[in-house]
Structure 1
Amino acid sequence: MHHFLLYIILTSSLISITNSCFFTPKWNVYLINDTPDSFAAHVMSKDDDLGNHTVPPNANYYFSFCDRWDRTSQFDAEFWWDKKYQCLGVVNDFARSKCHWLARCYWLVRPEGFYVSMYNVPFPRPEWTFVKSWG
């Protein structure tokens, strides 16, 4: 019992020191601004509210998370730009289908709407999939 307790303490310390995910992938999500002005984004999941963020032109907002053991973590984002608004799932079943090989999603925010890719390549390229226009 004494060895088991020591094992638990050392394992949890190692996990917190390395800041890595244990048995699940670490997802990296980028919201890239390809508009002429700043946009605001509010990112949240069922368990975490990442708050409001202002993203200047040619910049990005980045967040990462450790996926749930059953691979069902989901994040939604609300976007405001130039009197326009849109809400979409930035980590959901659709995004996973586009980004799952690398556990990395790039969201390109443009004047006509939102694109997703697992690669950060110049626009326009076939790797970018149009997802939704502004509301």
Structure 2
Amino acid sequence: MHCQSRDDDIGVRTLRPGDQFDFSFHMNLPETTVYHCDFVWGPKHNSFDVFKRWHSYCGSIKLFQNGYSTWLMKDSGIYFALGPNPSPGDFKFLHSWL
């Protein structure tokens, strides 16, 4: 995976099954922060904005109360949940692999 904003490049990370990777950031003013990630899993891939201040999967009041959004990569696709330790039932399917 590779995540970056206009100002910060988190770098390329190789994760193995069961691995976790965390990063944090401060939104810039006037709140135009966007983080884009490229995900690759063998021949599968997808690329999209994981955080965009006003059009975000995480962009609800809940995000700013708990500060976490969690992404899960599975063979069947890419899933998302709010919170640092969501239960398996909290994840919602978001994207298929391309």
TM-score calculated relative to the size of structure 1: 0.62
Aligned residues: 93
Shift of 1:66: 1.0
More helix by share: 1
Is the Cα–Cα contact under 8 Å of residues 42 and 52 in structure 1 kept in the other structure?
yes
For structure 1, the 5+ residue unaligned runs are 1-40
Residues 101 and 130 of structure 1: is their aligned pair in 2 closer, same or farther, counting only changes over 3 Å?
farther
- Separation (CA, whole Å) in 2 of partners of 1:129 and 1:99: 16
Q: Which has the larger radius of gyration?
A: 1
Residues 101 and 116 of structure 1: is their aligned pair in 2 closer, same or farther, counting only changes over 3 Å?
farther
Which of the pair has the greater relative contact order for Cα pairs under 8 Å at 6+ separation? 1
Instruction: Find the partner of 1:94 among 56, 79, 90.
Output: 56
* Worse-superposed segment, 110-119 or 78-87: 110-119
Residues 88 and 94 of structure 1: is their aligned pair in 2 closer, same or farther, counting only changes over 3 Å?
same
Q: Could you say which residue in structure 2 is the equivalent of 1:134?
A: 97
Q: Could you say which residue in structure 2 is the equivalent of 1:84?
A: 44
TM-score calculated relative to the size of structure 2: 0.82
Flag as ranges the 4+ runs of structure 1 deviating above 4 A. none
For structure 2, the 5+ residue unaligned runs are none
For residues 66-81 of structure 1, the aligned pairs below 5 Å read 66-81=26-41
Residue 53, structure 1, aligned to residue 13, structure 2: yes
Shift of 1:91: 1.1
* Root mean square deviation, CA, Å: 1.7
Shift of 1:122: 2.7
Q: Could you say which residue in structure 2 is the equivalent of 1:117?
A: 81
Shift of 1:100: 4.0
The residue type equivalent to 1:131 in the other structure is L
Residues 66 and 89 of structure 1: is their aligned pair in 2 closer, same or farther, counting only changes over 3 Å?
same
